[in-house]
């Protein structure tokens, strides 16, 4: 299957700083990528849908100014957590849609564990 690479796999940052997480589709072009947040022992919560060349669509309750999403190319989307606080600590997962072959299938990155101290 297609490969989605997410970087970094873990990061520790100080409160008030910003952190950028990258999501790359390595062997296919992804016009759409999704960013999820997962709390311990819970399911994935969709944060936003990232479309190449246009603004991201945020889910209700997700602060667009805090979670900046950029999808500047067909293989890269970034999520920047601005002015991070300890409550932003979580596991963030991206997925990319591969539309090749007529069916759009989602492939997931390995996730990024963010810890804000």
Partner 1 sequence: AQSVAQPEDQVNVAEGNPLTVKCTYSVSGNPYLFWYVQYPNRGLQFLLKYITGDNLVKGSYGFEAEFNKSQTSFHLKKPSALVSDSALYFCAVRLGTGANNLFFGTGTRLTVIP
Q: What residues from 44 to 73 belong to the interface with partner 1 (CB under 8 A)?
A: 44, 46, 49, 51
- Report the greatest alpha carbon distance in the chain: 45
- In DSSP terms, 111 is beta-bridged to none
Choose which of 14, 43, 54, 60 interacts with partner 1 (CB under 8 A).
43
* Range in contact with partner 1 (rule: CB under 8 A) among 13-21, 63-71, 72-80, 101-109: 101-109
Rounded to the nearest 5 degrees, what angle is found at the Cα of 35, between the Cα atoms of 109 and 45? 110
C-alpha 73, offset from chain centre: 14
Site for partner 1 contains 109 (CB under 8 A): yes
Tokens of 59: 């889910």
* Range in contact with partner 1 (rule: CB under 8 A) among 62-70, 72-80, 82-90, 93-101: 93-101
Instruction: Give which of 3, 2, 1, 6 is closest to 91, Cα–Cα.
Output: 6
What residues line the site for partner 1 (CB under 8 A)?
A: 1, 4, 6, 9-10, 31-32, 34, 42-44, 46, 49, 51, 91, 93, 95, 97, 99, 102-111, 113
């Amino acid at each position: 299957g297609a490969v989605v690479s997410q970087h970094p796999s873990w990061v520790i940052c100080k409160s008030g700083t910003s952190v950028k997480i990258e999501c790359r589709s390595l062997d296919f072009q992804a016009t759409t990528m999704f960013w999820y947040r997962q709390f311990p022992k819970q399911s994935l919560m969709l944060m936003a849908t990232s479309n190449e060349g246009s603004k991201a669509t945020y889910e209700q309750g997700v602060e667009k100014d805090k979670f900046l999403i950029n999808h500047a190319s067909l293989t890269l989307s970034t999520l920047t957590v601005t002015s991070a606080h300890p409550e932003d600590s979580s596991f963030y997962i991206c997925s990319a849609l591969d539309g090749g072959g007529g069916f759009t299938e989602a492939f997931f990155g390995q996730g990024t564990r963010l810890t804000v101290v």
